[in-house]
Amino acid sequence: MGAKAESDAERQGAGVSGGPEKPAPDVKLPRYGDGTSCGGRILIVRLSAIGDGLHSLPVLSALRAAYPRAFIGWAAHEALSELLRGHPQLDALHVVPRKISGGPTAALKAWRKSLREIRAAGYDTALDLQGLAKSGIVALGSGAGRRIGFGGEESRELNWAFMTERIVPSERAEHVVDRNLELLRALGIERPETRFVLGAFEEEGRLMSDFLETTGASSRAAVLSPGAGWASKRWPPARYGRLAARLKSELGLAPILVWAGKAERDMCEEAAAESGGAATIAPPTGLRELKELLARSRLFVGGDTGPLHLAAAVGIPCVGIYGSSDERRNGPYGRRCRAVAAGVSCRPCWKPACPLAGSDRMACMAGVSEEAAIAAVREALG
């Protein structure tokens, strides 16, 4: 998904410690290809961002289904770790710091500490789903003898140099979820079932249930997320407001506006005002609260950011409004998900802001009408 929206990073909570400790299982897994074993201790390396991390969850599910007794760990930055903490399919969670105060020396010290902890887990296989230099360093630093990553255009920043095996996804794998699953071919896993599994956060769930009950939206909440770190992923707040009004008047839904940070709160204020009282602004939500809010909702509408992909992973109907990014590769994944995009020739450009000279408005986002959005909503809801 490229550089990630700042709003997703703002939803991160406190640092997450390592996952539950388990003794090394006595697992003998089959041998493949070159005669080497995939081993019984597998590390997933997907450090960031929120949406990309969620797109990696089916890899974890497929590994757990294929090797139920394997020891599986995940290396992630702090924000993504918020969703992975206590995950039912993980044996260990390794938090690799992203932003470290104190300069390069402090950063190097923190990274060395993280890598020592990962290496101590004794992984023999690392799957690098990120394809960057930093993820390659983590894979190499884990001590795993087998380091499986992407080949071709999916491998960037010389990531290939850190890998022992490189997989080029097949042409049929267009979406990033399917491309991630292609790495499992190296472990003898072909075309696994695509499953998104998330943990349940009981305290956050109670808070969100209380909020929905207070607002009278317990059985008909529709979550709208106007914010995004990239301007090219933001549909105008006023349109969210008018969409909210139609969701209430035409479909009987109760629109809830979610946000992270002051800039997004301001967008929600504008959308709420335009809705004519139809929309309610949610309280501050971290990723865990947002996950539980979505699990209690009937619909999600938003741009190509973490909340959209979280809604898709939860399994509720959702509509993504797309601008600079490509919905064929990064669209919300699931049969009840829809993507709406304008038919402009310049997209997808994968730029945070419109690169056209003199452009002060995103033609790709401005070209998505409220009528197109409500039509997609009706289709997603069935």
Residue 34: is its pLDDT beyond 50? no
Higher-scoring residue by pLDDT: 8, 109: 109
- 108 versus 5: which is more confidently predicted? 108
Q: Classify domain 202-381 by CATH number.
A: 3.40.50.2000
Q: pLDDT-derived band of residue 22, with 50, 70 and 90 as boundaries? A: very low
**pTM of the complete model:** 0.89
Percent of the chain past pLDDT 70, that is, above it, reads 88
Distance (Å, whole) CA 132 – CA 180: 14
- Helix-helix angle 287-295:306-314, to 10 degrees: 40
Give the HSE-up count for residue 39: Cα atoms under 13 Å, Cβ half-sphere: 18
- Burial category of 83 from C-beta neighbours within 10 Å (exposed 0-12, middle 13-18, buried 19 and up): buried
Q: Residue 260: left if φ>0, alpha if ψ -120 to 50, beta else—which one?
A: beta
Number of other residues whose CB lies within 10 A of the CB of residue 103: 8
Domains of the chain, residue spans? 6-187, 202-381
Report d(CA 222, CA 128) in Å as an integer. Answer: 35
**Residue 357: what pLDDT?**
61
Q: Which is nearest to 96 in space by CA: 376, 80, 86?
A: 80
Q: Indicate if the pLDDT at residue 37 is higher than 70.
A: no
Residue with the two structure tokens 């529709």: 222
Q: What is the pLDDT of residue 1?
A: 35
100 — pLDDT class (breaks 50, 70, 90) = confident
pLDDT at 39: 53
pLDDT, tens digit, for every residue of 146-187?
999 999 888 899 999 999 999 999 989 999 999 999 999 999
Q: What are the residue ranges of helices labelled H in the chain?
A: 6-10, 50-55, 57-66, 78-84, 103-120, 133-141, 176-182, 202-215, 237-251, 262-274, 287-295, 306-314, 327-330, 363-366, 370-381
| Confidence class for position 193, pLDDT limits 50, 70, 90 | very high
Would you state the pLDDT for residue 270?
98
How wide is the angle at C-alpha 37 spanned by C-alphas 28 and 156, nearest 5°? 135
Model pLDDT, residue 359 = 56
Same fold, 6-187 and 202-381: yes
DSSP state of 364: H
Given this model, what pLDDT does residue 96 score? 96
42 φ, ψ (degrees, to nearest 5): -120, 130
Length of the chain: 382
Model confidence at 103, in pLDDT bands (50, 70, 90)? confident
Q: What is the pLDDT of residues 214-271, one digit of tens each?
A: 999 999 999 999 999 999 999 999 999 999 999 999 999 999 999 999 999 999 999 9
CB 170 within 8 Å of CB 154: no
**Domain over 6-187 is classified CATH 3.30.70.2190:** no
Residue 24's pLDDT is: 36
Side chain identity, residue 238 = A
Check residue 35 and give its pLDDT.
33
pLDDT for 358: 58
Distance (Å, whole) CA 39 – CA 124? 6
Residue 185: how many CA atoms within 13 Å on its side-chain side? 15
How far apart are the C-alpha atoms of 223 and 220, rounded to whole Å? 10
List the single range of 1-10, 84-93, 180-189 with lowest mean pLDDT: 1-10
Q: Taking residues 372-377, what's their average pLDDT? A: 98
